[in-house]
Amino acid sequence: MGLGLEMSQAIQCSKVLVVGAGGIGCELLKNLVLTSFLNIHIVDLDTIDVSNLNRQFLFRRHHVGKSKAMVAKEAVMRFNQAVSIFAHHANIKDEQFGAAFFSQFDIVLNALDNVDARRHVNRLCLALDIPLIESGTEGYIGQTTTVRRGFTECFECQPKAASQTFAVCTIRNTPDQPVHCIVWAKYVLSMLFGPPDADNIMLDKDLGGESYLDGSGNFTESDFLSTQLYTGSPTEMANLIFKRYFTTDIEKAILIADRWVNRPAPIPLYFDELLKSHNEVSDCEKGLQDQHVPTVSECATAVIESLCRIYKERSHSIGSISFDKDDDLLMDCVAHLANLRMFVFHIPMQSRFHIKGIAGNIVHAIASTNAIAAGLIVLEAIKVISKEFGKCRTVWIGRCGPKLLLSQRLEEPNKSCFVCSKSKRLLAVNCDVMALTQLFKVCRDVFGMNTPSIDVVSHENFIGCEDDHGDSDYLSRALSDPGVRIVDGAVLVIDDLSQRLEIELLVQNRFDVEGFEVLQTNAVNNTAKKRPREESGHSDGMQTQL
């Protein structure tokens, strides 16, 4: 594509922020450098895992364990020595990447697989009026779109369906949710007892395909038939599997110090020590086994028993076993494996019932889909840099019909969006039941805020609450408490300075509501307005700083 002198100069002078150096990010960085974008910043928290190597082509085997952002920078600079790239091995939500950092860029390109981080970037770009190009892929489908304040839908204009896909690096290395551990446990079950599957994320293809269980009784690396080839006793096999996944692998993971800078390091488990602290489950607990949240020692004992039973009772099926949530033995094994991993990574353990309910499907990443998405991002970026915003399109990638790509005009902002259109929301809640700390949790979990600050404005009072790191006694009070006085008709103005976001909630006290409901409202009858803090050091009413 001939760009012309003027457009080429605009591209070379532009300053670009790329968020994410994974599947899409690797392809995107390569494309940007080859298109002569010369000023690029990359932000990515992840380190390179063996499972990345089959589709993230900037990385090689000797890069495993290193920062994706740093290695990607080194790789793409070989394509164009004139490029100036700054790599940041960090979380885009860190304080250092606030409004001042974002303000230096002409355009932001998202190559993220994390909805929470995508929302954060979306909000900062809207607040600072920086064009944002969003992207995502899932198997053979994907999309790219451009976001511009006041002209297009933002990332949050349409509700996002709960995703059933998870980043491979997160599952293998840094789980932080129960579902990550459950998915991991299913992969382990398939690796040990299932048919060969080249897409199993637990398979380290580069390492020779040796057996997990070699003749000496030691673990090496992976082979799908390892449990078939092992000649020892079921108990020995089960103990070796436990040692591999919960002792040896975790001890190795702890040595990668960069992963644990902003989160606690995992805890290796030693079966003999857990066995000493194991107590038999009572008959009452056995009767409610599905609802019982086990201890780590119970899980350790139970996972050995489950693995032994599979080896004994299903020996004729080893090599062809696939997970079925209605198969009690397989479900037990997955639940125990998942709970042990949750304990190792400081994630609250779950009941068997809960684990069974959230066991989900995996859609594998496809390198060619990532490459197509990355190419589309650069085409849209050129339009933005060239001030040809009217030519920007949302492009869908898929295999339905005669075309692989389907483009459409960008949608206008959704007037009901609380992020880009400042639409108000109604919070229906029992004010006598909900505590102030639970309200902060709503701000984080429902509205995706990082550091919410709640201003309560009514005709009677004005209370400012900075964050829930203060007096735990005060935070445990009900909303209707005289010291809090968040009651029917109160208006909550909630700020998050890290995202430059402000939303307004009208409180409706409802005794029939369990928990809370957040509803859309186009009009708020209460006319109370937020009193700006900048005008005075204190308010007319009571102000509590937490």
Residue 262 marked ligand-binding:
no
Residue 23 marked ligand-binding:
yes
Residue 417 marked ligand-binding:
yes
Residue 420 marked ligand-binding:
yes
Residue 377, classified by CB atoms within 10 Å of its CB into exposed (0-12), middle (13-18) or buried (19+), is buried
Residue 55 marked ligand-binding:
yes
169 is catalytic: yes
Residue 468 marked ligand-binding:
no
Whether 302 contacts 276, CB under 8 Å = no
Residue 399 marked ligand-binding:
no
Residue 20 marked ligand-binding:
yes
Whether 412 contacts 422, CB under 8 Å = no
Report H helices in 150-232: 168-172, 178-193, 226-229
Residue 248, classified by CB atoms within 10 Å of its CB into exposed (0-12), middle (13-18) or buried (19+), is middle
Residue 327 marked ligand-binding:
no
Give which of 244, 255, 211 is closest to 230, Cα–Cα.
211
Angle CA(62)–CA(65)–CA(66) in degrees, nearest 5? 80
Tell me the two tokens of residue 207: 């390492």
* 214 vs 216: CA distance, rounded Å: 5
Give which of 21, 89, 86, 90 is closest to 59, Cα–Cα.
21
Residue 113 marked ligand-binding:
yes
Residue 465 marked ligand-binding:
no
Residue 401 marked ligand-binding:
no
Strands (DSSP E) along 22-139, which ranges?
Answer: 39-43, 84-88, 107-110, 132-138
Residue 308 marked ligand-binding:
no
Q: How many CA atoms lie within 13 A of 493 on its CB side?
A: 16
Residue 25 marked ligand-binding:
yes
Q: Which of 13, 26, 125, 169 is catalytic?
A: 169
* 472 vs 456: CA distance, rounded Å: 19
Tell me the two tokens of residue 316: 């004729």
Residue 381 marked ligand-binding:
no
Residue 68 marked ligand-binding:
yes
Binding residues for ATP: 20-25, 44, 52-55, 68, 113-118
Binding residues: 20-25, 44, 52-55, 68, 113-118, 154, 157, 417, 420
Q: Which residues are designated catalytic?
A: 169
Binding residues for Zn(2+): 154, 157, 417, 420
